[in-house]
Amino acid sequence: LQALAARQRPDFRVGAALALGPLTADPEYARAALSEFGSVTPENAMKPQHLSPGPGVYTFEEADALVDIARRHGMDVHGHTLTFGEALPRWMQDLPTTTEADRRASATALLDYVTTVVTHFRGRLASWDVVNEPFGVDQGTQLRHNVWYRVFGPGYPAVVSRAVHAADPDVAQYVNENGADVPGPRQDALLALVTETNAQGGHIDGVGLQAHVYDLSTDRIDGDDLTRSIDRFAGAGLRVRISENDVTRSEGPDAQAEQYAEVFAACFRHPNCVSYTTWGVDDRYNWWVAPDGRLRQGHDLLFEQGRPTLAHRALRSVLE
């Protein structure tokens, strides 16, 4: 897919979220992951929980291994994610925020984390999700009161963005959100957040629209709506990444493939949409696989047991 895309748009990236486990253990997964895609988003390996078990303590091995593999195969790496309300180590969740002195000390610890991580990967990543899922679950438009909010207040994205820029002025910065793929209050809130962040000295270059489609009857993304959405962000001087697309097969493989192609085509044909990433490679490692091994959400991805699905063929046909 990356090779086909590059014939028309050399700078466009078709990517996937990858995990080191199957990449090193499953040759079929590795073959698909490394031959189809031009960009890697570490699925979990760069979340705070995975990078820092204690204040000032870092475990970069897994993320570094993933970055090395990606770079050896000529793939870009998109860092995911610096701030988030989930996937936080215990010490971050427990940072005290009651008094002014608490908040000052906690701010130092969080900014040390950001600076250390961004500096560690400097020169090896194309971009970072500086903020992931800022808003409440479902269609909320209010900032979640995660630890970053509790320590820095509602201006936390600008504080973090400035710290990222100071540590690595060349890495592109994104705010990534779900449920903001089509026009509506959630998208308005995302656009307003990024605009305000940059007015406060932030350096956000674009937004990630996750485009998870769990239920085709409620989450279906209309291609024209997506084009209009990219237009809106472009009008504000922002780039767009489709950052985590996956589509349920619950209505059958044709409906799934059609939705995949519609999202991909809207992105690929818009000059401000710079990359398209699917959230995983093969249904064998679908993130909806429950601990007991059952698939909770149906088949969502471009490969199934190492073989390309109809959805994969649909993406190809957009490029041919």
Binding site for ligand XIL (CB under 6 A): 43-44, 132-133, 210, 244, 287
Residue nearest to ligand XIL (CB): 287
Q: How far is the CB of 210 from ligand XIL (least distance, A)?
A: 6
Residue 267 CB neighbour total at 10 angstroms: 27
* Buried-state track 153-173, b at ≥16 Cβ within 10 A, e below 16: eeebbbbbbbbbbebbeebbb
Closest CB 85 distance from ligand XIL, rounded Å: 10
Closer residue to ligand XIL, CB minimum distance, 69 or 209: 209
Q: How far apart are CA 255 and CA 47, in angstroms?
A: 33
The distance of closest approach from Cβ of residue 132 to ligand XIL in the complex, given in angstroms and rounded to an integer, is 5
Q: Give the Cα separation of 52 and 91 in Å (integer).
A: 9
Tell me, what amino acid is at 86? E
We find the least distance from the C-beta atom of residue 177 to ligand XIL, in angstroms, to be 9
User: What tokens were used for 135?
Assistant: 């808003």
Taking CA atoms, 18 is separated from 43, 65, 282, in Å, by 5, 12, 10
Shortest Å distance, C-beta 244 to ligand XIL = 6
Element (H, E) at 172: strand 172-177
Q: How far apart are CA 62 and CA 91, in angstroms?
A: 20
Looking at the Cβ atoms of 5 and 193, the one nearer to ligand XIL is: 193
83-115 exposure pattern, b = at least 16 Cβ within 10 A, e = fewer: bbbebbbebbeebebeeeeebeebbebbbebbe
For residues 134 and 144, the answer to whether their CB atoms sit within 8 Å is: yes
φ, ψ at 313 (rounded to 5°): -65, -35
Nearer of residues 18 and 319 to ligand XIL, judged by Cβ: 18
- Which CB atom, from 36 or from 43, has the smaller least distance to ligand XIL? 43
Closer to ligand XIL by CB, 198 or 277: give it. Answer: 277
CA–CA gap between residue 198 and residue 159 (Å, rounded): 10
Nearer to ligand XIL, 103 or 144 (CB): 144
Residues assigned a catalytic role? 133, 244
Cα 243 from Cα 245, distance rounded (Å): 6
